[in-house]
Amino acid sequence: MNSDGNSCGAGAGVSNFFAKRDNAQSKNIYMNFGGGEPFKSPIPAGTWKVKVDNETVAKFDLAVSYPLIPDSSDQTKLVPRVYIPTLKVTTDVSTHVVEKVEIRLYLWNKVEKNYQLVSSYDTFNSIVSGAWFSLTGRQNGQTVEETMSNSDSYAVPVDEKPLRTMVPEPKWRLQTTDDVDCATPTGFTRLEQINVQMIMYGNRYSFNFMLKKNGCI
């Protein structure tokens, strides 16, 4: 357990893994492997135990949540077994303000050996128990975030082909080299990252899309 009393690492020999409370008062604990870095190796197999006063209150096998599996025709190649989101960002031509963000899902087809657009949600709601979307950026030197939906209230209509079309507040703007000294105009937030999270098969997967700053830092 770390000095804050709310989080702990995995110990020697295992990196990029931690367990943490939502906050100091919360009874909810989440476990994470990856730490924002790309997957470089499988999640260590084995049972992770959560103990309270030296009594085991929960057990987890994080290896089963690994999102990649060997390809059926080439065991040395890993392919995704979960939905993969893609984004299309539409901006105003003159102001560069974000008008909408369309999210669509793709799934690896083991027979065709390619990614195919998910056009039917017959099984979607049985696999995905929650999904949400957020924008992150900078305004006046401060980090700003807007969450469009959350896992408690978000439900995907069965007849809707894209996962969702999001219309954020009209303050998000893509940085351009036309900006004076690359400064974001007053009243707008420079969009730097779009995040899509989905709970699939009981595990939360996070997809971060980092936007290029077009020569601006």
Query: Amino acid identity, residue 30?
Result: Y
DSSP 8-state code for residue 183: P
Determine the Cα–Cα distance for residues 46 and 62; give it in Å rounded to an integer: 8
Q: Note the pLDDT of residue 1.
A: 43
Determine the Cα–Cα distance for residues 118 and 105; give it in Å rounded to an integer: 6
Does residue 8 surpass a pLDDT of 50?
A: yes
Does residue 88 surpass a pLDDT of 80?
A: yes
Compute φ and ψ for 31, nearest 5 degrees. -115, 140
pLDDT in tens, 71-84: 878 878 888 888 99
Listed as own residue / partner, the contacts of 21-24 with beta carbons closer than 8 Å and 24 or more positions apart are none
Structural contact between residues 103 and 133, judged by C-beta atoms closer than 8 angstroms: yes
Q: Which domains does the chain have, with CATH numbers?
A: 7-65 (no CATH), 78-210 (2.60.40)
Structure tokens at 189: 């937030």
Determine the Cα–Cα distance for residues 30 and 143; give it in Å rounded to an integer: 24
Q: State pTM to two decimals.
A: 0.72
Determine the Cα–Cα distance for residues 194 and 206; give it in Å rounded to an integer: 11
Looking up tokens 């974000």 gives 98
Does residue 103 surpass a pLDDT of 70?
A: yes
DSSP 8-state code for residue 48: E
The predicted model gives 4-25 an average pLDDT of: 57
The band of 16, judged by pLDDT with boundaries at 50, 70 and 90, is low
Report which of residues 27 and 155 the model is more confident about: 27
Report which of residues 8 and 190 the model is more confident about: 190
pLDDT in tens, 162-174: 467 778 888 899 8
Q: What is the mean pLDDT of the chain?
A: 75
Q: Note the pLDDT of residue 99.
A: 92
Does residue 100 surpass a pLDDT of 80?
A: yes
